[in-house]
Structure 1
Amino acid sequence: MAPQPVVTGLSPKEGPPGTRVIIRGEFLGTRATDLIGLKICGSDCLLSAEWKSPNKIIARTGPAKGKGDIIVTTISGGEGTSTVQFRAYHETIGPLKESAVWIEESPSQNFAWGRRTLAQSVLTQEDPLGLSIEGNEQKIPEDLRDLFPDASGDLSQENFSPSWFLLENHSATSFEDLKAGLAYLKRKVESQKEGQLSFLKSNAGSVIDQLDTLMNIKDKLQEDTRIFGTEPLNVLESSIESSISESQNIFTEVLLRKEKADSTRAVLFALSRHKFLFCLPNSVERRAQAGEYDIVVNDYARAKNLFGKTEIPMFRRVLEEVDQRILQIRKQLHEKVVKMPQSVEQQKKLIKALTSLEVQQSGTSIGDRMRNVDPAWDAIEARAKYLEHTFKQTFEQYASKESGAQEKTKNRENSNQPHSRVLFCEEICDIAASQLPDLWRLGQLYFTGELRGAHDPKPGDFKRMVLNAIEKFCAYLRVAVLIASDLRALRQTTGLSWPIGSSSATHQFLPWISQCLRYTRITYATLIRLDLPSEALDIIQKLIDEIRIFCFSITFKRATDRCKKLGDLETWDMDVEDFPGATMLPNCLEKLLVETLDEAQNACMNPEIREGNLLEPQSDGQREVSQRLQEFLSTFCGVIEELAYQSHDEETPTHNVSQLIGYPNVQQNALQSGRFWNSSVITWEQRMLCCLANCAYCNKSFFPHVGDVFVKYGYPLPTLAIETSRYSVNQLFTNLLDAYVEHKVDPLVGTIEPSMYLGRFQWDHEMEIGKLRPYAHECCDNLVGVYSEIYTISPALLRPILEPIVLTVSEELARLMSCVQEFSYTGAIQANVDIRLIRDALKFYTNETGKNYFLEALEAIKPPLNAEQLKKSDEILERVKTCMKLQLMCFAVKEP
């Protein structure tokens, strides 16, 4: 509640009734309607009060008298106090002086001497003492009113006080002059008391006129006696009676005309004076049609205050007509309040006008004919329904366009134009960003009391309205944007479905997902500024998180599609320093991954205002990231596999001896300094080795490096996706290795037996010994060729590839030796030398199983070698190793 009003200043501080007074002070009201009372010296002056500011009021004084306080009463502060007082006094007003009150203007009568004075005493009043008052101040001292509260210094007043007169007019006159004035007054009074003679002298003219009149009357009387006789009384009586009757008729006629004229004058005066009331019915209707409802409210309130309690039938009939017009205006206002679309300010204006009119007409019979319980709440409901209708209409409009445009766009690609889903997303976001704030502001005006009606507010219902509108908005967006979600579940929960377009149309829409996310974020930022409850904002935040995840998924799916085409970019350039044999294909994949992460980071992963982190542990976002990375890397494994087997189907390898033993050819000459200058001359074996090197590189270094790239961009380390991809690339490495080994080992092993028995050779025949058999030479040379091919591409693949080849060779030698029934003396020595040479040459690439096979091959020589044969075999073996030093050096490197 505001402080009490305080009056601290007054100008002027005294005056007669009707004096214009400026009142100054503090807390004199917040507005004009806040001022409900003003008393000056106990007289109510509210009607003439004019509120200027909380510190200033202008008013006119009432018919008060004496000193008194100025009391101001306001609604906000109550009855106030005054530190100053006003002095009110009455003064005699002449006919030529302006006055705020009615003055009797009839000439004053003075019958002191039995006759009318010739002039008004007010105008010709002189000092009765005959003294000059020049130099005396005419201002009325304040103390005189205190000394003579019920007297006056005016000679014409009944309460004339000589003391007041003397103090007022002769306060500076000496006592001797006053005595002289008293003598003058006595002489003047004595002169009025002279006898008849003096009276006749002063009135001789009048007396003569009277005598003449008497003589004329006598003459007339004698003439009448001669004519009418000595008894004229009857005639006189009849004449008098007829005169009386005639005069009565004339008087009655004049009186009737006067009454009629007065009545007409009164009616015209009433019409002129109360023109506002009689013109009010047409005025309010005209103002209502012009939309000036605030003027209608003010005029109606003014009429109610002035004539609400009148008993005059004419005024009552006019007020009833005004009430009828106001009732019609209320109906029109209510229709306009719930009519959409319109701005909040317009609705606010209409609601205030309607509420004011309802309050003014409440409690009356005509006001009860139409009761709008709560126009502001009706406006809120109308706006909420209109918002939902707009959402639904927009959705149906674009959905129908989508279904109608499918046939037209079936054979046409136009990805530069926004998809209908994108246009729908933009429009519905614009609707939500413009109309949801209006609904919220209207609700706030209602709950703060500015637009509240007679009933209690309904916060629960309003909250449901807002939540329902936001849920509908999110449902429409979810159906239109999240095309990869469970459409059947959405259709069951929301009852909405977007026409399923062609795959090309869907593919055109996917690049626009980030634009849809931007539209939704703009709407979300607009709603955040409204200070909505967190429950409402969480609904939109959940949708934004879903769109962000979907956008990330689409971004990586597009990257996955680009990854499938990386094979076309393979140039077989082996420029990886840390891993010989690996090509630049993983580097291309890393560039694609960095571009994708940049795009995803800018489009959806960077959280904006009031958005959560999608990469929380065990969250849907983290699972989506892991899954998409796993698909991305698995696709890359598929690219490697496709490159590995791509040329194998086109080529028809011929496993002739010249190729197997590694003789130089055109394709080998194309290999220079670890770079294939023309991929068209690369053999399938070389491509297979590069793919094997890429697999090993991905498993060992590249896939863990991919995890570091994700961490660099703020993602959690996708351990599961990396380990799964490493498992996949290991499986691919194993498959490719088996294919390559099978391709190499079959012709290599297949040539051992034919070469061993070439020229009808038999182990049980005596033979010339001292050097290596041709089959052993061929086996070593073929292995050197394979070694050379692998070493040229990727030395790290030597052991994985050569170990299974050597194992197969050792197994084949064991089988061949076990099939020999008997060895000759020299044959046993030769077989021992051949097997031991091959075993010693390949010892670094022989596993335990291979060693066992070599041991079985030696044990299969029967009869076993004696000491002399072993010595001979050792001598030949040393000599052969010396001759084959160059070939054996290839296999002597333990860790190439």
Structure 2
Amino acid sequence: MAPQPVVTGLSPKEGPPGTRVTIRGEFLGTRATDLIGLTICGTDCLLSAEWKSSNKIIARTGFAKGKGDIIVTTVSGGVGTSTVQFRAYHETIGPLKESAVWIEESPMQSLTWGRRTLAPSGYTQDDPLGLSIEGNEKKFPEDLREIFPDCNGDLSQENFSPGWFLLENHHGTSFEDLKAGLAYLKRKVESQKEGQLSFLKSNAGSVIDQLDTLMNIREKFQEDLKEIGPEPLKELELSIESSIKESKNIFNDVLTRKEKADSTRAALFALSRHRFLFCLPNAIDKSAAAGEYDIVVNDYSRARNLFGKTEIPIFKKVLDEVDHRVLNVRKQLHEKVVKMPQSVEQQKKLIKALVNLEIQQSGMLVNERLRTIDPAWDAIDARAKYLEQTFKQTFDLMASKDSEKEKSYFSESKSRERDPNQPPNRVLFCEEICDIAASQLPDLWRLGQSYFTGELRGTSDPKPGDFKRIILSSIEKFCTFLRVVLLVQLDQRLMRQTTGLSWPSSSSSVTQQFLLWLPQCLRYMRIAYATLIQLDLPSEALDIVQKFIDDLRLFCFSTIFKRSIDRVKKLVQKETWIMGVEDFPGATMLPSMLEEIIVETLEEGQNACMNPEIREGNLLESQSEGQRELSQKLQDMLSAFCSVIENLASQSQDDEGHQPTISLLGFSSFQQNGVERKNWDSATSWEQRILCCLANCSYCSKVFFPHIGTIFVKYGYPLPKLAIETSRASMNQLFTTLLEDFVERKSDPLVGTIEPSMYIAQFQWDSEMEIGKLRPYAQECCDNLVGVYSEIFTISPSLLRPVLEPITQTIAEELARLMSCVQNFSRSGAIQANVDIRLIRDALKLYSNETAKTFFMEALEAIPPPEDPKRIDQILDNIKQNMKLQLMSFTVPNP
């Protein structure tokens, strides 16, 4: 509890009633409502008190006199104390002094034999000393109650004290004037004593006439006693009664007419006085017709307060009529409340008027004619139904437009193209239904909040569970319509069975055009979602919208990737066979084109749908549907890229109109249809294309696909490890397939020329021959290998070992087979065969695997051992020296 109020200062310290006083002190209240009492000199002055602060109060003094304390009372501190006092006095107001009241200027007569005025003023009285008191405005400084405790200064009081009177009215009068006033008072008293005799002298005739009249009355009274007797009053009473009876007979008609006139006058007066009640029925109808329902409520409330308990029949009859009119107004109000569309403010205004009228008529018999209703809840239900109806009408309208538009396009020329800048009807529907939800759902929510906070509550109990069901149902319907229209990848038959809704089927081109507008639809949805978030809706309602937005984001992201996959498939037409990868010879610009598509795809996906907004989660969380979709789409994109490389390789083989022939120089593969291709940018051979495809496969598997992972991480996406590894495996498989095909196409002709060249001109190994140089088959085999080496080295040196190793194995196997088929070797034939096989073996040493080495060994073992190995070594060295230029390329370990 706060400390008691204490008054420590006062300004001014004295004054007449009505003086404006400034009171200062401590703990005078914490606020205006805390001040509950203020007395000055024992007079309550709370009504005029003006609280300024806890240290200051301004008030006006009451009708008090004398000194007294100033007591302040507060709720927080209780009754206070005062260390100062206020002195109150009454001023004497003369005719020349300013005053706030009317002063009776005529003097009050004080003669003993005279008559006093009918309304003497309490503010003026004649001074018995005959002196003016206007010069004594300054009051006596001391309190006269203390000097004269049981006296009074009023001349009309019994305890009149001359000393009080003189101090109060003449404390400033000089002694000479007081002496003159005493002389005046004495003369006045003497004149009053002589006034009785002089009165008789001046009025002697009138006194004698009065005496004569009294004598005549006495004589007449004695005569009446002789004639009538001692009781004349009975006769007088009978006479008076007969007079009254006769007067009634005479004036009966007049009195009747007077009574009628009086009753009519009374009725007219009642009508005039209570005109409000009698005009109220028509006034209620006019106000209701004008929509001024507040006036209806106020007038009806006023009538019930004034005449609700009346027993007068006419008033009760009028009140019954008013009740019936109000009942009709309630019915009209209820119809308007549930009529849509209308603004929330207008609806709330109607509900408040209806609730007030319902409360005022509750418990009445007339109220039984209208069933008990809850207007606020009916308004909520009507607004919710109108919202769902608007959703359905918009859906049907846009669906019918889309169906008619599709039919018109089919009926017209197929060459006509759609305007890509014109949004499809699906997009228009999304925009319109989002606008409807963003405008009407907040109105429904605010109306419900006003109902549950008590602003619109009537006599019925609220229904929070039902309202929550309405909100959830409205939002669920909103998302269902959008799900049917926007998520075209869903099973439309299943959606039609579960929701009863179906959008007209569209052609593939129309659907593809719509998919380009998906990010815009997502933007419309997010704008509507932001509006719903501001309403502080329950989390269950927001989760419904968030779930749909996540699905739409994922579908939008999937659509963006599908378009990118289509672009990747078209890279077949954009391959220029320009090798532009510095660190990986043979690789073309095809992977960089794929990288551009991936970067554009990731940027578009991030800007359109991946970046989460208000209350949206991350679609690419670990083990989420979004991450699985991202991995699958990337895998599909890389798989499409693998197909692009495969298609390019197959086209390269299909473009080659004939099988290349291997000449002694081994460069015939660079010619096609008799035209030499020197410029690779304008025309490349099939070998170069396949080698570029192999280089691209190797580059993608080793460098580019892992690089894709860094791109995803750079743009804030999770690392798609599974998709990359799967794609690398697919690319390696493609590399193996293309390599096998290329090796087969290169090795079959090369190996096929060995046997014909070996036995050309009916050569036999058992005949004697000139030795010292290679046989034509060995020379041609080396030259052909040099040609293959040159092709590969020019395009991609890294492919030398993968290509030459299986070719070397095939050559070794063929030589082993041919040598094993020779039955007899001459001495020179054995030396020549040994030199040929060893030269080929030594030349291809770097590209011989264990299997090839085994075949070379089998070929040498099939030849009889030489008698002079040194001679063979000498011949082999001479041949190697002569073929140094051809053999040099096979000696570079890492070209």
Q: TM-score, with normalisation over the residues of structure 1?
A: 0.79
Structure 1 counterpart of 2:692, which letter?
C
Please list the CA deviations of residues 762-804 of structure 1 after superposition, one character each: whole Å capped at 9, or x if unmatched. 1122222221111111111111111111111111111111111
Question: Which residue in 2 is equivalent to 1:651?
Answer: 656
Structure 2 counterpart of 1:279, which letter?
C
Change (3 A) 1:154 1:592: farther
Question: Which residue in 2 is equivalent to 1:718?
Answer: 720
Tell me which of 790, 793, 813 is aligned to 2:792: 790
Segment of structure 1 superposing worse, 753-762 or 283-292: 283-292
Change (3 A) 1:550 1:165: farther
Change (3 A) 1:118 1:546: closer
Change (3 A) 1:238 1:607: closer
Please list the CA deviations of residues 160-189 of structure 1 after superposition, one character each: whole Å capped at 9, or x if unmatched. 869599988996477996897588568647
SS in 1 for 2:846: helix
Question: Which residue in 2 is equivalent to 1:840?
Answer: 842
Structure-1 separation of matches of 2:575 and 2:507: 33
Please list the CA deviations of residues 88-125 of structure 1 after superposition, one character each: whole Å capped at 9, or x if unmatched. x9xxxxxxxxx99xxxxxxxxxxx99xx9898575999
Segment of structure 1 superposing worse, 784-793 or 660-669: 660-669
Structure 2 counterpart of 1:623, which letter?
R
Structure-1 separation of matches of 2:526 and 2:155: 89
Question: Which residue in 2 is equivalent to 1:66?
Answer: none
Structure-1 separation of matches of 2:270 and 2:136: 47
Q: How far off its partner does 1:81 sit?
A: 9.9
Q: How far off its partner does 1:874 sit?
A: 2.3
- The answer to whether the 8 Å contact 1:129/1:182 transfers is no
Question: Which residue in 2 is equivalent to 1:755?
Answer: 757
Q: How far off its partner does 1:498 sit?
A: 1.9
- The answer to whether the 8 Å contact 1:130/1:184 transfers is no
- The answer to whether the 8 Å contact 2:587/2:699 transfers is yes
Q: How far off its partner does 1:839 sit?
A: 1.1
Segment of structure 1 superposing worse, 489-498 or 605-614: 489-498
Structure 1 counterpart of 2:666, which letter?
I
SS in 1 for 2:699: helix
Specify every segment of 5 or more residues in structure 1 that has no aligned partner in the other structure, as ranges.
1-8, 17-23, 31-47, 56-76, 90-98, 101-111, 219-235
SS in 2 for 1:443: helix
Please list the CA deviations of residues 669-717 of structure 1 after superposition, one character each: whole Å capped at 9, or x if unmatched. 9877xx7231xx2111111111111111101101111111111001111
Tell me which of 508, 511, 517 is aligned to 1:503: 508
Structure 2 counterpart of 1:755, which letter?
S
- The answer to whether the 8 Å contact 1:136/1:170 transfers is no
1:768-779 to 2 correspondence within 5 Å?
768-779=770-781
Segment of structure 1 superposing worse, 598-607 or 168-177: 168-177
Q: How far off its partner does 1:507 sit?
A: 0.9
Please list the CA deviations of residues 469-526 of structure 1 after superposition, one character each: whole Å capped at 9, or x if unmatched. 1111111111111111233443343332222211111111010010010001101111
Question: Which residue in 1 is equivalent to 2:4?
Answer: none
- The answer to whether the 8 Å contact 1:586/1:698 transfers is yes
Question: Which residue in 2 is equivalent to 1:315?
Answer: 315
Change (3 A) 1:182 1:287: farther
Tell me which of 673, 677, 680 is aligned to 2:681: 677
SS in 1 for 2:712: helix
Structure-2 separation of matches of 1:689 and 1:209: 170
- The answer to whether the 8 Å contact 1:29/1:54 transfers is no
1:195-234 to 2 correspondence within 5 Å?
199-202=203-206
Question: Which residue in 2 is equivalent to 1:282?
Answer: 282
- The answer to whether the 8 Å contact 1:670/1:676 transfers is no
- The answer to whether the 8 Å contact 1:133/1:170 transfers is no
Q: How far off its partner does 1:888 sit?
A: 0.9
Change (3 A) 1:82 1:473: farther
- Is 1:337–2:337 an aligned residue pair? yes
Specify every segment of 5 or more residues in structure 2 that has no aligned partner in the other structure, as ranges.
1-9, 19-27, 35-46, 55-74, 91-99, 102-111, 171-177, 221-235
Q: How far off its partner does 1:285 sit?
A: 2.2
Structure-1 separation of matches of 2:489 and 2:508: 13
1:288-367 to 2 correspondence within 5 Å?
288-367=288-367
- The answer to whether the 8 Å contact 1:806/1:842 transfers is yes
Tell me which of 480, 483, 487 is aligned to 2:492: 487
Tell me which of 573, 576, 583 is aligned to 1:571: 576
Q: How far off its partner does 1:828 sit?
A: 1.5
Structure 2 counterpart of 1:704, which letter?
P
Question: Which residue in 2 is equivalent to 1:887?
Answer: 886
Segment of structure 1 superposing worse, 465-474 or 420-429: 465-474
Structure-2 separation of matches of 1:336 and 1:841: 104
SS in 1 for 2:767: coil
| CA RMSD across the alignment | 5.4
Q: How far off its partner does 1:546 sit?
A: 0.9
SS in 2 for 1:483: coil
Structure-1 separation of matches of 2:372 and 2:714: 64
Q: How far off its partner does 1:202 sit?
A: 4.0
1:152-171 to 2 correspondence within 5 Å?
163=160
Tell me which of 430, 453, 456 is aligned to 2:435: 430
Change (3 A) 1:694 1:341: same
Question: Which residue in 2 is equivalent to 1:876?
Answer: 875
Structure 2 counterpart of 1:705, which letter?
H
- The answer to whether the 8 Å contact 1:29/1:53 transfers is no
- The answer to whether the 8 Å contact 2:153/2:164 transfers is no
Structure 2 counterpart of 1:703, which letter?
F
- Is 1:807–2:809 an aligned residue pair? yes
Q: How far off its partner does 1:723 sit?
A: 0.7
- Is 1:456–2:455 an aligned residue pair? no
Percent identity between the two aligned chains: 61
Structure-1 separation of matches of 2:242 and 2:131: 61
SS in 2 for 1:449: coil
- The answer to whether the 8 Å contact 1:470/1:540 transfers is yes
Q: How far off its partner does 1:663 sit?
A: 5.6
- Is 1:556–2:568 an aligned residue pair? no
Structure-1 separation of matches of 2:325 and 2:51: 33
Q: How far off its partner does 1:191 sit?
A: 4.5
Structure-2 separation of matches of 1:164 and 1:658: 163
SS in 2 for 1:853: helix
- The answer to whether the 8 Å contact 2:32/2:51 transfers is no
- The answer to whether the 8 Å contact 1:560/1:635 transfers is yes
Q: How far off its partner does 1:620 sit?
A: 0.6
Please list the CA deviations of residues 371-402 of structure 1 after superposition, one character each: whole Å capped at 9, or x if unmatched. 54432222222222221222222222222222
Structure-2 separation of matches of 1:165 and 1:140: 17
Question: Which residue in 2 is equivalent to 1:706?
Answer: 708
Question: Which residue in 1 is equivalent to 2:391?
Answer: 391
Please list the CA deviations of residues 294-336 of structure 1 after superposition, one character each: whole Å capped at 9, or x if unmatched. 2222222222222222223332222222222221111122222
- The answer to whether the 8 Å contact 1:136/1:171 transfers is no
Structure-2 separation of matches of 1:660 and 1:489: 69
Q: TM-score, with normalisation over the residues of structure 2?
A: 0.79
Segment of structure 1 superposing worse, 272-281 or 691-700: 272-281
Structure 2 counterpart of 1:288, which letter?
A
Change (3 A) 1:296 1:25: farther
Question: Which residue in 2 is equivalent to 1:824?
Answer: 826
